[in-house]
Structure 1
Amino acid sequence: MTNNLPLTVRRSIEVMGLFFLGWLIVLGKGILAPLLMAFFLSIMLLPIYRFFRSKNLPEAVSIGISLLVLVLLMAGIVWFFSYQISSLASDFPTIQKNVTNHLRTLSAWVEDISPLSTEEQTSFISEQSSRILSYAGNMLSGAALSITGIFVFIGLLPIYIFLLLFYKNLLLRFVFFWFSNDKHEKVEGAMREMETIIKSYLFGLLIQITYITILLGGILMIVGIKHAILIGVIFAFLNLIPYVGALLGNIIGVLITLASSSELWPIVTVLGVIAAVQFLDNNILMPRIVGSKVRINALASIVGVIVAGEIAGVIGMFLSLPIIAVLKIIFDRTESFKQWGILFGDERPSESPMEEPALREDSEHVERQLQRENEIEPTDHTDLDGDTRR
C-alpha cells in the first residue's frame, strides 16, 4: 500500500513513524527495558532449553533449569565482585594514607604554579565538599526511586524470561500472521538470522569478559599491581558498553591504582596494559569470536549508545548494539527501509556517490563489492517486500 504513495509522502511517514516510536519508547521505558533484556537473555538460554527438551523433560521444567543456570551465573558474578571489593576495603587504611600523600603532592604542585596557598586550597576543597554533600542529600529521594526501580527490574526479569520461553510458539505465530503466506519463508529466514546474530553477540560478550579478565588481571598481577583482578573484572564489564565503557574502565583502573600505590609508575603500567589488551580485543579476538556477518558503523554505534543511555540508562547502553543489529537485519530485508540499513551498516564505499553514479542505486553487484572491500561476510537473503536477492 505505502509503495504506491509518492516518495516524499513515504519518507514523511517514515520520519513521523520514527518520532512516535521514539516517543512511545521514552514513555514505556520502564516496561520495555526489562522486556528487551529478557528477550535477549531468553534467546541466549535457548540452547540449554532445547537440550533439556530433547531429553523429553516437561517444558516448564526445562525453562526452570535454564533459569536456574542463569541465576547461578549471576550469583557467581555478584559473589566475585563482593569478594574483590571486600579485599579492596580491607586495605582502606593504606588507601587513605596513599590518597593523603597524593593530595599533598598535588597541593604543593598547585602552590608552585599558582598564588593559592595550602590553606586556601583546603578552604576551597572544604567548601566544594559541603556543596557536593548537600547536592547528594537532595538527590537521595531520586536514588531511592532508582534502587526501587532496580529491584523491580530484577524481579520482572525471570518472570519475563519464563513467559517468553513458555509462549515462544504463540509469539512466533503472532509474527507470521503479520505477513502474507508467500512471505513466510522470508520472515523465517530473517528470524533465524536474528537469533544467530543475537546468540553470537551475547555469547561473544561472555567470552570477551572471561579473556579480558584473565589477560588484564593476570598481566597486572604478574607485574605486581595491587587489586589487579578487580581492575580486570571492572574493565571487562564496563567494556560491554561500547566506546563509553572503555573510557570509564581506564579512569576507574587508574583511580584504584593511584589509591593503592604511593608511586606513579603503576599508573603508566595499568594504562599501557589496558591499551595493549584493548587493541588485541578490538582487532584480533572479538572480530573472530563474534564474526563479521552484521557490522555496525562507529557513528551509528556512538549515537545509539548515547540515545539508549538517555532513554534507559546503563541497560539501554548495553542493549543498544544488539538492537541496532536486529534493526539492520530487518531494514536490509525490507525494500521500503533499505536506506536505514545502509545508514547503520559499515559497508563504506571507497569512492564518493557524487562521482560514481552506480553507488546511488540499489544494486546487488555493488553491495557484494562493498562487502568484499570492507571484509564483511556476505549474506544471501530475500527481501520481506518480495524481491529475491542472491
Structure 2
Amino acid sequence: MNNMPLSVRRSLEVMGLFFLGWIIVLGKGLLTPLLLAFFISIMLLPVYRFFHKRRVPEALAIVLSLLLLGIAVGLVVWFFSSQIANLIQDFPVIQKNVTNHLNALSAWIESKTPYSSEEQLRFINEQSNKLLGFAGNLLTGAAGSVTSVLILLGLLPIYIFLVLFYRNLLLRFVFLWFPRDSHEKVEETLREMQVIIKSYLFGLLIQVSYMTVLLGGILLIIGIKHALLIGLIFAFLNLIPYVGALLGNIIGVLLTLASSSELWPILVVLGTIAGVQFLDNNILMPRIVGSKVKINALATIVGVIVGGEIAGIAGMFLSLPIIAVLKVIFDRSEPFKQWGVLFGDERPGRSPMEVPILRRKSERVREKLEAENKIEPPHK
C-alpha cells in the first residue's frame, strides 16, 4: 500500500470511512451494547482486580463487580424515582401555576399583538391536534423502543461478564493482527487508551455526583422546589457535550416555572447553573479528568450529532470516549496521523501556509503543539 499513489490512498481511506459508517449504521443494535460493555468493563477492572488479588475465583470476582455496579445503578434509579414521585404529588399546584403563567403570557401577547385570547386559544387547539397526531405516531414506535432498551439492559451484564472473562483472549487477538516489531507500539497504544478511558469515565462519575450535590444543594438552600431533581437531571444531561447543558437549562427552567407562581426563581436557577457550570468547566473537571486528550469543539459537536443519529442517547454519551480512543489510535498510526490532527485540539499558533514545518507528520512538532496547548502526555 505504501507504493500506491497518494491520491489512491486517500480515496481508499474515504471509501473505508464510508463503508465503516455504513456497517455501524446497519449494526448499531449489536455495536451499541458491545461498546457500552467495553467501556464499563474498563471501569470495573480496578474493582475486579481488588477481588482477584484477594484470591477470589475469577468468575466470582466478575460477578461481585457486576453486583456492585447493579447496586450503584439501583440507588441512582431509586433516588430519581423518589424525586419524580415528589414532583407528581405537587401536580395540582403545578397545574395551577402553569395555568396562571399561560394566562399571563396570553394577556401579554394580546397587549403587544393584534391576536385576541380567542384567536390564541384557537391556534393552541389547532397545534394541540397536530401534536396529538404526532404523539400517536411516536407512541406507535415506543413499544419497539422499550423492547430495545429491555434487550440492551438484559444483554449488557452478559457482555460485561464475557469481556472481562475473555479480556486476555481479546488482547491476544489484537496483538496477532500486527507484526512482532509493532507489538511495543501496540502495547503503548492499548495502555494509553485504558488510562484515557478510565480517567474520562471515572471523571464523569465524579462529575455527576458533585454536580448533583452542589447544584441541588445550593438550590435547596435557596428554597427552590424540586432542587435535587433539577440538579440530578442537569448533572446527567451535562455528560452530553454542549447539547446536554442547553437541555439541562431548559428543563431546569420548565420545572421551576411549573413549581412556582413567581418569576424570580427562574433567574436564580439560571444564575446558579451558570455559576456551577463555570466552576465545573474551569476548575473542577480539568483537575479530575486532566487534559491527557483534548478533542476540539468542532469534532465534539459533529461526533455528538452523528452519535445521536446512529444510536440515539446512548450514541451521544459514547461519542466523546470513542473519538478519544480513535485519536489515540490515529496519533500512533503513521498512515492516519492527519485524522488524529483533525480530532485533536493541538492548535498551531501560526498558519501552516507560513510555517512549512507545521505541514509535516513530525512527532517533535506534535509534542511541541501539545505543550503549547497544555495537553499532558497520557503515558501513565
- Is the Cα–Cα contact under 8 Å of residues 300 and 320 in structure 2 kept in the other structure? yes
Residue 172 of structure 1 aligns with which residue? 171
Normalization by structure 1: what TM-score? Answer: 0.96
Residue 332 of structure 1 aligns with which residue? 331
- Is the Cα–Cα contact under 8 Å of residues 43 and 195 in structure 1 kept in the other structure? yes
- Is the Cα–Cα contact under 8 Å of residues 192 and 378 in structure 2 kept in the other structure? no
Structure 1 distance, partners of 2:114, 2:34, is 57
Report 1:145-224 matches (<5 A).
145-224=144-223
* Runs of 5+ consecutive residues of structure 2 not aligned to the other structure: none
CA 1:86–1:47 in 2, change beyond 3 Å: closer, same or farther? Answer: same
Amino acid at match of 1:191: L
Question: Deviation at 1:70?
Answer: 0.8
Q: Deviations over 1:149-198 (max 9, x none)?
A: 11111111001001111111111111110011111121111111111111
Moved more, 337-346 or 215-224: 215-224
Structure 1 distance, partners of 2:299, 2:133, is 38
Question: Deviation at 1:7?
Answer: 1.1
Question: Deviation at 1:110?
Answer: 0.7
Structure 2 distance, partners of 1:115, 1:186, is 71
Structure 2 distance, partners of 1:181, 1:295, is 31
* Runs of 5+ consecutive residues of structure 1 not aligned to the other structure: 382-390
Report 1:351-390 matches (<5 A).
351-378=350-377
The structure 1 segments of at least 4 consecutive aligned residues displaced by more than 6 Å after TM superposition are none
Residue 271 of structure 1 aligns with which residue? 270
Structure 1 distance, partners of 2:178, 2:355, is 37
TM-align CA RMSD: 1.1
Percent identity reads 72
Residue 37 of structure 2 aligns with which residue? 38
| 1:3 match: secondary structure | coil
Residue 239 of structure 1 aligns with which residue? 238
Structure 1 distance, partners of 2:371, 2:180, is 34
CA 1:278–1:356 in 2, change beyond 3 Å: closer, same or farther? Answer: same
Residue 117 of structure 2 aligns with which residue? 118
Normalization by structure 2: what TM-score? Answer: 0.98
Residue 384 of structure 1 aligns with which residue? none
Amino acid at match of 1:81: F
- Is the Cα–Cα contact under 8 Å of residues 235 and 249 in structure 1 kept in the other structure? yes
- Is the Cα–Cα contact under 8 Å of residues 3 and 336 in structure 1 kept in the other structure? no
Structure 2 distance, partners of 1:341, 1:138, is 42
Amino acid at match of 2:155: L
- Is the Cα–Cα contact under 8 Å of residues 304 and 319 in structure 2 kept in the other structure? yes
CA 1:239–1:21 in 2, change beyond 3 Å: closer, same or farther? Answer: same
Structure 1 distance, partners of 2:363, 2:328, is 16
Q: Deviations over 1:43-71 (max 9, x none)?
A: 10000111111111111100100100111
Structure 1 distance, partners of 2:162, 2:207, is 29
Residue 136 of structure 2 aligns with which residue? 137
Question: Deviation at 1:142?
Answer: 0.8
Q: Deviations over 1:112-148 (max 9, x none)?
A: 1112111221122122112211221122221111111
Residue 75 of structure 2 aligns with which residue? 76
- Is the Cα–Cα contact under 8 Å of residues 204 and 289 in structure 1 kept in the other structure? yes
- Is the Cα–Cα contact under 8 Å of residues 200 and 290 in structure 1 kept in the other structure? yes
Q: Deviations over 1:247-285 (max 9, x none)?
A: 000000000000000111111110011011111111111
Structure 2 distance, partners of 1:53, 1:280, is 38
Residue 322 of structure 2 aligns with which residue? 323
Structure 2 distance, partners of 1:214, 1:347, is 34
Structure 2 distance, partners of 1:69, 1:379, is 29
- Is the Cα–Cα contact under 8 Å of residues 225 and 257 in structure 1 kept in the other structure? yes
Q: Deviations over 1:63-87 (max 9, x none)?
A: 1001001111111111010000000
Q: Deviations over 1:292-326 (max 9, x none)?
A: 11110100000000001000000000000000000
Residue 56 of structure 1 aligns with which residue? 55
| 1:242 match: secondary structure | coil
Structure 2 distance, partners of 1:345, 1:124, is 48
- Is the Cα–Cα contact under 8 Å of residues 239 and 245 in structure 1 kept in the other structure? yes
Structure 1 distance, partners of 2:356, 2:160, is 48
